[in-house]
């Protein structure tokens, strides 16, 4: 299979974002348009994960963070949640050897320990086996909610202040970020949401403060290397001012 075309050249030295995050939306609508059960859309969504994680590496993205299961997704029907967890098991089982071969580090953010014991064991096995990989990083957000992440960081800092281990005056952006699940990752450069929706849905709220946002109409199962390349080209064409001129 040929590699995707490279992102178009610009004169910016940071034309390719180091860290890209994607809100993968539209699996259900993809299935509905084809008169298929929702699980069919989720299965195609897993194929898109495989396709895009490879394409991102080929395009030079160092970190790809995917919003796989939010803390709010537990509100979905029990059968759908069960199907999603089954797909996660299959993904971890089928992809581990490729991740190792490609030197890809798997990271999981969110309260994944609230999942079933067998899934927790699988996640910790794959993350441990890929921990020392020297290539790209694939981050999966599972049972993740950004507001809960921020609250946990706040409580942790409050406990340190109460114990005398930290001065309240010493808390700045860097100290706060060190408490977040993404503390060991590069800053978020680009956040993409598929399916035409234009909201963050409790995803990486702190981290996205100065990220470039790209919203595309493509449903996640149809998202491909060309669509990713277009999003990266949009990013490359923007002037990132970070509050300056």
Residue with tokens 């995050």: 21
- Measured in degrees and rounded to the nearest 5, phi and psi for residue 214 equal -130, 125
In which residue are the tokens 């989720």 written? Answer: 42
Lowest-confidence region among 3-12, 72-81, 88-97, 234-243: 3-12
pLDDT tens digit sequence for 57-78: 999 999 999 999 999 999 999 9
How does pLDDT run across 178-208, given as a tens digit for each residue?
999 999 999 999 999 999 999 999 999 999 9
For residue 231, count CB atoms less than 10 angstroms from its CB and return exposed for 0-12, middle for 13-18, buried for 19 or more: buried
pLDDT band at 15 (very low <50, low <70, confident <90, very high): confident
Q: In what order do the strands lie in the sheet with 137-144?
A: 105-109, 137-144, 63-70, 19-23, 190-193, 212-215
Please classify residue 202 by burial: count the beta carbons closer than 10 Å to its beta carbon, then call 0-12 exposed, 13-18 middle and 19+ buried: middle
Better pLDDT: 216 or 243 = 216
The whole-number pLDDT of residue 239 equals 84
Residues 19-144+188-236, CATH architecture: 3-Layer(aba) Sandwich (3.40)
Q: Is 143 a catalytic residue?
A: no
To the nearest whole number, what is the mean pLDDT of the chain?
93
Region at 4 (left for phi over 0; alpha for psi -120 to 50; beta for the rest): beta
Kindly state the average pLDDT of the residues 77-101.
95
Tell me: pLDDT of 7 over 80: no
Q: Which residues are annotated as a binding site?
A: 25-30, 38, 42, 70-72, 74, 76, 193, 199-201, 212
- Which three-class secondary structure state does DSSP give residue 22? strand
Residues 224-230: contacts with CB within 8 Å, 24+ apart?
224/48, 224/51, 224/52, 224/55, 225/4, 225/51, 225/52, 225/55, 225/58, 225/59, 226/4, 226/5, 228/4, 228/52, 228/55, 228/56, 228/59, 228/192, 229/4, 229/5, 229/7, 229/55, 229/59
Quickly state the pLDDT bin for 241 (edges 50, 70, 90). Answer: confident
Q: Binding site for substrate, residues?
A: 26-30, 38, 42, 70-72, 74, 76, 193, 199-201
Give the CA distances from residue 123 to residues 42, 63, 116, 241, in Å, rounded to whole numbers and listed in that order: 19, 18, 11, 38
Average pLDDT over residues 142-169: 98
Query: What is the rounded average pLDDT of the residues 131-151?
Result: 97
Q: Indicate which residue of 11, 14, 58, 73 is catalytic.
A: 73
Model confidence at 3: pLDDT above 90: no
Give the domain ranges of the chain: 19-144+188-236
Looking at residue 6, what is its pLDDT?
42
Q: Grade residue 5 by pLDDT with cuts at 50, 70 and 90.
A: very low
- pLDDT band of residue 8 (cuts 50, 70, 90) is very low
* Annotated active-site residue in 11, 14, 25, 172: 25
Integer Cα distance of 92 and 140 in angstroms: 11
Please give the full DSSP string across 185-205, using - where no structure is assigned. SPPP-EEEE-TT----TTSST
Residue positions in the annotated binding site for Mg(2+)? 25, 212
């Amino acid at each position: 299979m040929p590699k995707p075309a490279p992102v178009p050249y610009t004169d910016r030295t940071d034309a390719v974002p180091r860290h890209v995050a994607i809100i993968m939306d539209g699996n259900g609508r993809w299935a509905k348009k084809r008169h298929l059960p929702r699980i069919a859309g989720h299965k195609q969504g897993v194929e898109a994960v495989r396709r895009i994680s490879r394409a991102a590496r080929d395009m030079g993205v160092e970190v790809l963070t995917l919003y796989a299961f939010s803390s709010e997704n537990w509100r979905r029907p029990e059968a759908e949640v069960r199907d999603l967890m089954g797909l996660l098991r299959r993904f971890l089982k089928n992809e581990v050897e490729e991740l190792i071969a490609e030197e890809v580090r798997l990271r999981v953010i969110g309260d994944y320990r609230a999942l079933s014991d067998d899934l927790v064991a699988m996640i910790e096995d794959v993350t441990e086996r890929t921990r020392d990989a020297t290539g790209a990083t694939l981050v999966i957000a599972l049972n993740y909610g950004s507001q809960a992440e921020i609250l946990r960081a706040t409580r942790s800092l409050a406990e340190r202040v109460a114990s005398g281990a930290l001065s309240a005056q010493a808390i700045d952006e860097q100290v706060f970020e060190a408490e977040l699940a993404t503390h060991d990752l590069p800053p978020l450069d680009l956040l993409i949401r598929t399916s035409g929706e234009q909201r963050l849905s409790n995803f990486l709220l702190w981290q996205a403060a100065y990220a470039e946002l790209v919203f595309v109409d493509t449903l996640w199962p149809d998202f491909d290397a060309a669509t990713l390349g277009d999003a990266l080209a949009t990013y490359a064409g923007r002037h990132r001012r970070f509050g300056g001129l």
